[in-house]
A = this chain, B = another copy of it.
């Protein structure tokens, strides 16, 4: 960095650090009467919420939690979790949002790795805890989170042996006076674990400053620019991606700062989600395509058209298809896609239609709305080739997305090797291959490890699979790149055909050839070899296992005579 002249500071002059408590403080100023709702079980306004966050801070302090200690939470989306977002962090402790979808062995690994000291756990997850409790090395205190107390205030006394108490009882018994201290804005605020295809889960982590800035970035984009037609403080927010997954994409911090009404649905149950959506007047959510798909196909959807038409939803996690976008928009839902990852806290792109694009017919809008989005405010995004050179933003050239932004994890906890790989050359490497247009649209093509590098060009295996899916009779396909002496790599395809068809490699190539002639495909995209298989290898979470295909099926593929 170049040397400049810094502002001089008078001895007693004060400049506040950017802390999560400063987001919280705004919730009391303007619309503190707005509510935070938990299922059909509990509701409170922001005055009460601020009191409870302080009661939680006192509870934790009484349990021995101090600055730098890690508090692990196992919960569905709840007001309690929101209280932890603010209460745990504002005393200088670290919030570990446990990914309850990992296997018990992985959860155990993350708890020991993060050095959890106190665990707050919902009763639904006690079976997991019981399976691993003996091997947990650093936890000394357990607190039960129970939904039963909302029906029966006395239910809280009934906690498992070794537990220090039940959350509601502890919080209600604590003082609501707590002056949150100032501390360094680079203080560690949250941590959680992300899994790849190999190796142990990796711990990402975020500072107060980073979460503050992520909130400012969201604010600038979705409220300032109305990227989601979000109107600000008067919207009603309900998350439908878990709070343990990248802090529910950071929205709870923004919604709290804006004292917007918030609705926490607990465990996701389609009927309850829909009920809350209607009765609480929800206008803003985020979810993965699967949930949206379930909702638009629910028989109730048509019935509640009017309510759905005020609903704005950010889609992420996996690609939004045009069909789903269309179905949602036909119901009046304003749908936008976003792009990000655990390492980027997460938002780095969201769909934004500019003045001209808003005038486009709905089908053309859908083409845009199903892109990964436009690069978010304060995010610098580039495309990089294998040699670390930047690739032009021409909407065509492919490169790995690399980013710099004020909310990127600065490493993986206690994992210097993978951290150095993530930050190679001073840019965060996403592992996603994309093109970017001159007007900042991002179009994801593939994962870096799956992109096929042939004759100096990058070919997206996903684009190829998309093209193959349009050949009549193809039920499923997987395209991988395998080494080739002349071209470096060449694409090859596995095909599952639909019953009753009798496809051949030639008939499929003929189908693709039509696209080549129409200029939709480059001729070097056409796979060299096409192999028919009864079934395509998948990973445990149902994704095509291209790594396995490349290693274990290589000989089969290359041995195939086309």
Contact = CB atoms under 8 A, between A and B. Distances in A.
How many identical subunits does the complex contain? 2
Interface string A361-391: 0000000000000110110100000000000
Given A181-B2, A225-B258, A10 B405 contact: no
Contact of A224 (B4, B223, B375, B416): B223
Contact of A15 (B31, B406, B419): B406
A26 interface: yes
Interface stretch (A73-81, A141-149, A184-192): A184-192
A354 B188 contact: no
Most B CB contacts (10 A, CB to CB) among A13, A22, A233 go to A13
Contact of A22 (B30, B92, B378): B378
A337 interface: no
A98 interface: no
Interface string A28-52: 0111110000000000000000000
**Closest 5 interchain pairs by CB?**
A5-B68, A10-B411, A4-B187, A4-B92, A13-B410
29 contacts: A1-B184, A2-B92, A2-B183, A3-B68, A3-B183, A4-B92, A4-B187, A5-B67, A5-B188, A7-B186, A7-B210, A10-B422, A12-B425, A13-B410, A16-B404, A18-B213, A25-B378, A26-B378, A29-B440, A30-B225, A31-B354, A33-B355, A216-B216, A216-B219, A219-B220, A223-B223, A223-B224, A225-B232, A225-B233
Nearest to A258: B224
B226 A13 contact: no
A423 B216 contact: no
Contacts of A12: 420, 423-426
Contact of A380 (B13, B16, B210, B425): B16
Given A2-B67, A26-B378, 5 more contacts: A7-B186, A7-B210, A7-B410, A29-B440, A224-B258
Contacts of A94: 5
Interface in A65-115: 67-68, 92, 94
Contacts of A32: 439
Given A14-B408, A181-B1, A219-B220, A207 B6 contact: yes
A264 interface: no
B67 A427 contact: no
A500 interface: no
A352 B14 CA distance: 27
A184 B8 CA distance: 13
A22 B392 CA distance: 21
Interface of A: 1-18, 22, 25-26, 29-33, 67-68, 92, 94, 181-184, 186-188, 205-207, 210, 213, 216, 219-220, 223-226, 231-234, 257-258, 352, 354-355, 374-375, 377-378, 380, 404-406, 408, 410-411, 413, 416, 419-420, 422-428, 439-440
Nearest to A189: B7
B68 A410 contact: no
Contacts of A423: 10-14
A398 to B, nearest CB: 21
Contact of A10 (B3, B15, B225, B410): B410
Given A13-B410, A233-B224, A31 B355 contact: yes
Nearest to A207: B7
Contacts of A422: 10
A10 B420 contact: yes
Nearest to A191: B7
A534 to B, nearest CB: 45
A22 B380 CA distance: 10
Contacts of A16: 378, 380, 404-406
A15 B182 CA distance: 21
Contact of A420 (B11, B184, B355): B11
Contacts of A257: 220, 224, 377
Contacts of A226: 231-234
Contact of A410 (B9, B205, B374): B9
Contact of A210 (B8, B15, B404, B411): B15
Contacts of A425: 12
Contacts of A33: 355
Contacts of A14: 404, 408, 423, 426-428
A345 to B, nearest CB: 12
Contacts of A5: 67-68, 92, 94, 187-188
A439 B33 CA distance: 11
A521 to B, nearest CB: 31
A22 B407 CA distance: 14
Nearest to A181: B2
Contacts of A22: 378
Nearest to A32: B439
Contact of A29 (B8, B25, B374, B426): B374
A375 B30 CA distance: 9
A408 B9 CA distance: 11
Most B CB contacts (10 A, CB to CB) among A5, A68, A183, A374 go to A5
